Structure 1
Amino acid sequence: MAVGVLSLLGFQLVDSAFIARLGTAPLAAQSFTFPLSFLIIGVQVGIGIAIAALISRALGAGETARARRLGALVLLGGSALIACLVVGLHVAQTPLFRQIGARPALLPLIRDYWAPQLLAAWLGAVLYFGYSLFRAHGDTRLPGKLMVLTSLLNLLLDPLLIFGVGPWAGLGLPGAAWATSLAFGSGLAIVGWRLGRSDWLTASGLVAEARRSTRPFLGIAMPAMVSQLMPPLAAMLATAVVATLGDERVAAWGLASRLETVSLMVVLALTMSLPPWLGRCYGAGHWQEIRRLMALAFRVVVVWQLALGVVMALLAPWLAAVLSGNPEVRDGLEALIRALLPSYALLGVCMVVVSAANALGWPLRAMLMSAARLFVCYLPCLWLGTQWGGDIVGTAWGAALGNLLAGALAYALFRHSLGDRGKLVESTA
């Protein structure tokens, strides 16, 4: 999964690197779309969390037939829900982007890019639901391989569709979105073919299963969605703060956001692969194994992210030069890399805690952890850093401090929750 996540997020960074060669305005236009793209991702991840939790628990309890019905229900309902969200974001795009802080001169660029990007988002969401089914059944190899395949396809298509070839001039900024759509569509075709050959889905008994499972599904999915929707909201607010510093700073912030997701590849792989395992342990009542799994996950996250963050901070000038040729964008990105990358060690702890809490039957606690991370720790520190520093450097160090506080708080809350569960188990025994 780590290899797959690296390739998937790597092609998003490649998109931004190619777009940066079109100029600062296209890069800033793409950066303004990130918060709304994250909104779609938040909904799809919330649904994916519920898929993994319910199906893995059903499998852990030996309810294979129910797991098949749940898989079919979620694929159908999730695809329809994302389609409605995509249509709504297309209709309301102008006031939304103006609210985030996009200048009128950027709106035509955003408009041309946004329609194909929404198509790519829908295809990516349906593909993600398919990945969630495979992970719930213990297969992480196919999702990982397909992430690599779609990334390679996007890498090949990006320069062709953005810049063109021979006499064809290319599509410019929208070409990046069309490349992503074609790559995701190819992956979705393979997933559909593999699911058709499996026995993980069924069309019988769906109505009765919907009546039985809607409430527990919503009990996990709704808090998980709220948890996942809070980062896009925070991203919109953060982008609005950065927009006060100018388009070059917004462009640097957008590149840093792409670099952030790539650098968190191990954490994201853990948030995908741990919940099905934890769900099975939860269904079987193996709480000691849960403790060992989480202790190992915390050690991996802190050691890996801290080492990677320090190395990337040392290489910040070189990385910034590779990703952007604009001096102002490059300087801003260099400051963001140096401050933010090491802080992801504790941000990763927080992300793993939120993912585990959903799998362990604590969706409301996961939602509260996400809210505290973003609105108590991250955004206030980012805003204060911007106000006191007056430039992107202050923003960077403020955001880094917010990540550190969030990780410490999440770890303390998780220890407390696990302690309560241990006492409950002992008293029941």
Structure 2
Amino acid sequence: MDATPAERTAEERAHTPVFVQGSTMRHVLVMTGTGAAGLIAIFIVDLVSLLYISWLDDPSMTAGVGLATVVMFFTVSINVGLMIPIGALVSRALGARQSDDARRLATSGTLLMAAIGAVVSLLTLPFLPQILGAMGASGSAYDVARSFLWIALPTNALMSVGMAFSTVLRAAGDAKRSMYATLSVAIVTVLLDPITIFVLDLKADGAALTISLARVVYFYVGYVYVTRAHRLLARPALQSVVRDARPFFAIAIPAILTNLAAPAANAFFTSIMAQFGDQAIAASAIIDRVVPVSFAGVFALAGAIGPVLGQNWGARRYDRMKQTLKDSLTFMIAYVLGVWLLLFLLQDLVVIAFNAPPLTAELVKFFCQLSGFIWFFVSLVFVANASFNNLGYPLLSTLFNWGRATLGMIPFAYFGAQVGGPKGALLGIGAGSIVFGIAAIITAFWTIRRLERQAVPIP
């Protein structure tokens, strides 16, 4: 018996990729909301660890953990760059209804990401004295940072695979399970940090040990969801990995270069703050933890709209791609303004929670008052980069990120510090981001119009 029109419509919707139908704003909100919860789980690992360390009332230890996490930011940024091609390629294949290709690409991407994550750790560890020295580390702060990294860095490969699994889940539209996987990191950290830091009296080394254990749990939970709920991993085959490496690295290399701009800028900024002593470094470390948790929605938005854009590009729905970018901007503006107000109101509680000494407290409060101005323009670059990376223009992402991290930061932060001390350096970061933020978002809309005009064939 032939199906009725209503039954045929229902069947077609059931087989239509998730992001090619329904409200684009709803997809942006759901993906960003669940992604933000997951990212907060990861970022809260650093925040909670530093919070506990600050309760030991030793500014050099707080500074040492801060220096260590600046180095770890480099490794995590490389991992994030490797996530981008997995999300872009898998979502595009799913959007074109090529499930076997999506499964193969997910497997190849995960294996490549694991291998690179392991290599990065092995190459970083021998050069820690030179890396920390270039950042201005010395004395007790140097010793704390070096010991912390020798415990935490070896598990970077597990972290990279866990992040790959989360990306595959988001590419399939399963934002909820992706969030659950990353939430496991926060749960382990909150439970184990007090035990390893205070009960076992391992102090900073205890925080590093907790990070390593949390990564093991992250890997396991992500693997269970990807294999059992979606069956999006295939049997590994060397031939497939070699074949998929080319499109993977075509996106990954520019994406990694793009993401390395942020930790490079952070390292430069930390070296500037080091001129003003351990209290200034501690302030920088606290700001580096408050920012990801507070602005997790912006970080999540950059990753969330990738699968939405990718699936609609696979389906050649250029109208929905434009609307997704517009909806993302609307959300970003409302979110940044809301967080700015919240940080302004809670600035005193933040410095009290971290037991901040006078100069540290002064700088952290100044950042809370200035945060919205800085992050509005930085967020424009984030949203534009998500579009570039998923629509075949990854080099534009590299250009804007490094432009902001060099021309838009180094001279402004340097001369700001010369004129106004550490506060002047903070103000310089915001001033240097204005031009790059505006130019990036205008270029993002231009790339979608160009794809539509040329009807570029899908790789």
TM-score scaled to structure 1, two decimals? 0.93
C-alpha distance in 2 between matches for 1:102 and 1:257:
17
Is it true that 1:32 corresponds to 2:67 in the alignment? yes
C-alpha distance in 2 between matches for 1:117 and 1:387:
35
2:107 to 72, 87, 97: 72
Query: Which residue pairs with 2:352 in the alignment?
Result: 321
Is it true that 1:203 corresponds to 2:203 in the alignment? no
Question: What residue identity is the alignment partner of 2:414?
Answer: W
Query: Which residue pairs with 1:339 in the alignment?
Result: 370
Query: Which residue pairs with 2:253 in the alignment?
Result: 222
Question: What residue identity is the alignment partner of 2:36?
Answer: A
Query: How big is the shift at 1:210?
Result: 3.3
C-alpha distance in 2 between matches for 1:13 and 1:36:
15
1:324-366 Cα deviation digits (max 9, x unpaired):
3322211121122222344212211211110121111111111
Query: How big is the shift at 1:211?
Result: 4.2
Question: What residue identity is the alignment partner of 1:202?
Answer: A
Query: How big is the shift at 1:380?
Result: 2.3
Query: How big is the shift at 1:146?
Result: 2.4
**Bigger mean CA deviation after superposition, 246-255 or 261-270:** 261-270
Query: Which residue pairs with 1:16 in the alignment?
Result: 50
C-alpha distance in 1 between matches for 2:51 and 2:242:
47
C-alpha distance in 2 between matches for 1:70 and 1:370:
27
- Contact conserved, 2:287 with 2:364, CA < 8 A, in 1? yes
Query: Which residue pairs with 1:148 in the alignment?
Result: 183
**Bigger mean CA deviation after superposition, 7-16 or 297-306:** 7-16
Query: How big is the shift at 1:228?
Result: 0.9
C-alpha distance in 2 between matches for 1:199 and 1:9:
28
Question: What residue identity is the alignment partner of 1:150?
Answer: V
- Contact conserved, 2:312 with 2:321, CA < 8 A, in 1? yes
1:37-75 Cα deviation digits (max 9, x unpaired):
111112111110000011111112222112111111122
Query: Which residue pairs with 1:126 in the alignment?
Result: 161
Is it true that 1:2 corresponds to 2:36 in the alignment? yes
Query: How big is the shift at 1:200?
Result: 1.1
Is it true that 1:138 corresponds to 2:173 in the alignment? yes
- Contact conserved, 1:10 with 1:151, CA < 8 A, in 2? yes
- Contact conserved, 1:271 with 1:355, CA < 8 A, in 2? yes
Query: How big is the shift at 1:267?
Result: 1.2
1:21-48 Cα deviation digits (max 9, x unpaired):
2210111011112332111112111110
SS in 1 for 2:407: helix
Q: Structure 1 unaligned runs (5+)?
A: none
Question: What residue identity is the alignment partner of 2:232?
Answer: W
SS in 2 for 1:278: helix
Is it true that 1:94 corresponds to 2:135 in the alignment? no
Query: Which residue pairs with 1:409 in the alignment?
Result: 439
Question: What residue identity is the alignment partner of 2:308?
Answer: W
Query: How big is the shift at 1:402?
Result: 2.4
Query: How big is the shift at 1:406?
Result: 3.0
Q: 1:149 to 1:209 in 2, by over 3 A?
A: closer
C-alpha distance in 2 between matches for 1:267 and 1:139:
19
- Contact conserved, 1:369 with 1:410, CA < 8 A, in 2? yes
Query: How big is the shift at 1:232?
Result: 1.4
Query: How big is the shift at 1:120?
Result: 4.4
Q: 1:381 to 1:418 in 2, by over 3 A?
A: farther
- Contact conserved, 1:381 with 1:401, CA < 8 A, in 2? yes
Where do 4+ consecutive residues of structure 1 move more than 6 Å?
A: none
1:288-330 Cα deviation digits (max 9, x unpaired):
1001011010011011102211331233223222223322211
C-alpha distance in 2 between matches for 1:16 and 1:408:
34
C-alpha distance in 1 between matches for 2:408 and 2:356:
33
Query: Which residue pairs with 1:421 in the alignment?
Result: 451
Is it true that 1:238 corresponds to 2:253 in the alignment? no
Question: What residue identity is the alignment partner of 2:45?
Answer: F
C-alpha distance in 2 between matches for 1:207 and 1:14:
41
Question: What residue identity is the alignment partner of 2:231?
Answer: D
Query: Which residue pairs with 1:272 in the alignment?
Result: 303
Query: Which residue pairs with 1:179 in the alignment?
Result: 210
1:386 to 384, 408, 417: 417
- Contact conserved, 1:161 with 1:176, CA < 8 A, in 2? yes
Is it true that 1:103 corresponds to 2:138 in the alignment? yes
Query: How big is the shift at 1:425?
Result: 4.8
**Bigger mean CA deviation after superposition, 290-299 or 349-358:** 349-358
C-alpha distance in 2 between matches for 1:339 and 1:122:
36
C-alpha distance in 1 between matches for 2:373 and 2:45:
22
- Contact conserved, 2:158 with 2:219, CA < 8 A, in 1? yes
- Contact conserved, 1:9 with 1:258, CA < 8 A, in 2? yes
- Contact conserved, 2:306 with 2:390, CA < 8 A, in 1? yes
1:352-394 Cα deviation digits (max 9, x unpaired):
11012111111111111111221121232222211111x2211
- Contact conserved, 1:302 with 1:346, CA < 8 A, in 2? no
Query: How big is the shift at 1:2?
Result: 2.0
Residue identity (%): 24
Query: How big is the shift at 1:121?
Result: 3.4
C-alpha distance in 2 between matches for 1:240 and 1:392:
11
1:259 to 290, 294, 302: 290
